[in-house]
Amino acid sequence: MSNSRATALAYWRAAQARDGDAFDALLTDDVVYHLPQTGERIRGREKYVQFNREYPGQWSVAVGADDQAATWTTFTVNGEEQPALTFFDLDPAGRIAQVTDFWPEPYEAPPGREHLVER
Amino acid sequence: MSNSRATALAYWRAAQARDGDAFDALLTDDVVYHLPQTGERIRGREKYVQFNREYPGQWSVAVGADDQAATWTTFTVNGEEQPALTFFDLDPAGRIAQVTDFWPEPYEAPPGREHLVER
């Protein structure tokens, strides 16, 4: 596992455990929290920790497969840019067995591919 | 770089190059393509390659930072499950310098945190 992956998993362990010291220790002083879908950014560890502390509701978090690879790509489609978030599951031989794509705007499936998909 | 990460990057290089042979060689025969936001799945290399070949419009794709770690987590909030997709940028010392969260349903920022965010 890469160091960055290990750090990402430690982040979620600390969040789930409400271990503020462990969480703080993972962040730079001027960490930026970014929510592309709302355009919001939160700057600095202090505000970010406060944001998490004040987050409404009861929540828990579970991480998916430990060895999943992911990419954040930018698609340019007919001149318009949009992000795509893709997760890859590999078989033991290293081939891609599952591709999961998130396009962070929901949409109804366009017609014309019913012959290829199931829902 | 992990092998799974290298495979993910090879996938995008092949897609962008329209290199069908390289693309095919990365996939298992029974690869599954999954779009959680529409509930669609496409099963098998043949249908998946066809789906990509028939994808409408002019498109190109660019991958983000090579060393970015990502997680796909499931949040349970007030009893309801929702996915969250998080990308981590680390500084040279290995601390988290940026956290980018996608919640794959768009929403208006809820009130009550204007004191913490900028837009």
Taking contacts as CB-CB distances below 8 angstroms, the residues of chain A near B62 are 73-74, 76
- Largest alpha-carbon pair distance within chain B? 53
Q: What is the ipTM of this complex?
A: 0.80
Each residue of A16-38: pLDDT tens digit?
999 999 999 999 999 998 888 78
Model confidence band, residue B23 (pLDDT cutoffs 50, 70, 90): very high
Cβ distance of B91 and A28 shorter than 8 Å: yes
Each residue of A67-112: pLDDT tens digit?
678 898 988 888 888 888 899 998 998 899 988 988 887 445 446 6
| A113 vs B11, more confident | B11
**Chain A residues 100-119 with a CB less than 8 Å from chain B:** 100-110, 112-113, 116-119
Residue of B30, B40, B106 with shortest CB distance to A37:
B106
A23-30, long-range: CB within 8 Å, 24+ apart, which pairs? A23/A49, A23/A52, A24/A49, A26/B95, A26/B96, A27/B95, A27/B96, A28/B91, A28/B95, A28/B96, A28/B97, A30/B97
